[in-house]
Structure 1
Amino acid sequence: MPHVEKGMQVGLFGGSFNPPHAGHVLVADIALRRLALDQIWWMVTPGNPLKNTRELAPLGVRIQNSQDITPDPRIKVTAFEAAYRVRYTADTLALIRARNPGVDFVWIMGADSLRDFHNWERWREIMLTFPVAIIDRPGATLSFLSSLAAKTFDYARIDEADASRLARMKAPAWTFIHGPRSALSSTEIRKQQSVARQG
């Protein structure tokens, strides 16, 4: 795990990053600024239980590609989940909390993930572990109105204007952050790369 000091505000941004792209960097930049974070842990997961792992590039490649596009020193690319053999986000967050007392963490995810969040293993536990920041993504702006997670935890939603205070709040607490959006997607990039190789 990256080094942190007590009192820091740290964002947790996990994904397969297969491949990482400018849209991911935009989410990280928005989170750093709007949530007043000291760091973001860009957590490259070994695999995703909800996705096809056959299309997954090797972990080392995804780590290197992530480092190549994240020049901001506050963004710490890490793949510690592989070392701890953690499979589910709920377990990752429990591990982080146990090993980093005195640090204020926020779980960060794109609005497109919010739509299917209720399919994640122990998703309610995730919402109850750390505050959550949902960053707007193209085509997913209204997901915070329709998703089961948003409806279930509607009482815990805070105003976007208070986003800079989110990390210090006790979970459950979440907000939806609007801002610049990138239409890039890892799935589309992989499709284009496949077509280029075949051509």
Structure 2
Amino acid sequence: MKIGLYFGTFNPIHVGHLIIANHMAEHADLDQVWMVVTPHNPLKKKSTLLDDYHRLQMVHLTTEDFPKIKPSDIEFKLAQPNYTVNTLVHLQEKHPNYVFSLIMGEDNLKSLHKWKNYEAILENYEIYVYPRISSDPKNELENQNNALKNHPKIHMIDAPVVEISATFIRENIKKSKNVQPLLPAKVWDYIDHNNFYRK
């Protein structure tokens, strides 16, 4: 079975995440997409994160009607801060018959060379990349990005460009703005019921 791993803090998960996950499950050569909830991204301030369990529960609520998309708490069990390469090794040991690959946005591809052991990741795993609108097209990493785009393990997938920001959602909930169209209905109900992101 071929599994695409879609990592994120999902703080909160929104319709953009679901659109990308579903597109990869339906249009890339993957059998399933696992949405891996990261307990703490070393590049993000932990203080802005909702509790791990609540973010995982929102991913459960979002994916329960999508049999090809599964929530994963695999990183909850690993030492923090964790790195993707460690998660991949752990999953491969736990599921030796599965073939794992990564799903990432084009913006993450540009910084892949900064990841821990990125050469080993590229050597051993396929990477499926969905497009993002670049805020700085003349970025100094553009050449690096182009070189990676042509790498045999990297597959550029013509997925919808969805520019929805979890930060934007959190900030607007705090301002009492209506963000319901940006969230799966069950996720909005969960956030509203628990009074999340209001302070």
- 1:77 aligns to 2:57 (yes or no): no
Match of 1:134 in 2: 129
The one-letter amino acid paired with 2:163 is A
SS at 2:159 equivalent:
coil
1:33 to 26, 29, 37: 26
Structure 1 vs Structure 2 CA RMSD: 2.3
Match of 2:43 in 1: 50
- 1:125 aligns to 2:125 (yes or no): no
Percent identity over the alignment? 30
TM-score where L is the length of structure 1: 0.77
1:148 to 139, 144, 148: 144
Q: Does 23-32 or 179-188 show the bigger shift?
A: 179-188
After TM superposition, give the deviation of residue 140 of structure 1 in Å.
6.9
Match of 2:4 in 1: 11
> Structure 1: 5+ residue runs without aligned partners?
1-7, 158-172
1:114–1:149 Cα contact (<8 Å) kept: yes
Cα distance per residue 1:33-76 (max 9 Å; x no partner): 12232211111011100111110000011011111222202211
1:191 to 162, 171, 176: 171
The one-letter amino acid paired with 1:38 is D
SS at 1:156 equivalent:
coil
After TM superposition, give the deviation of residue 122 of structure 1 in Å.
2.3
Q: Does 83-92 or 115-124 show the bigger shift?
A: 115-124
After TM superposition, give the deviation of residue 154 of structure 1 in Å.
5.0
After TM superposition, give the deviation of residue 179 of structure 1 in Å.
2.6
* Structure-2 separation of matches of 1:81 and 1:108: 16
* Structure-2 separation of matches of 1:133 and 1:147: 19
* Structure-2 separation of matches of 1:55 and 1:65: 16
> Structure 2: 5+ residue runs without aligned partners?
177-197
The one-letter amino acid paired with 1:193 is I
SS at 2:20 equivalent:
helix
How many equivalent residue pairs? 174
Match of 1:163 in 2: none
* Structure-2 separation of matches of 1:57 and 1:98: 30
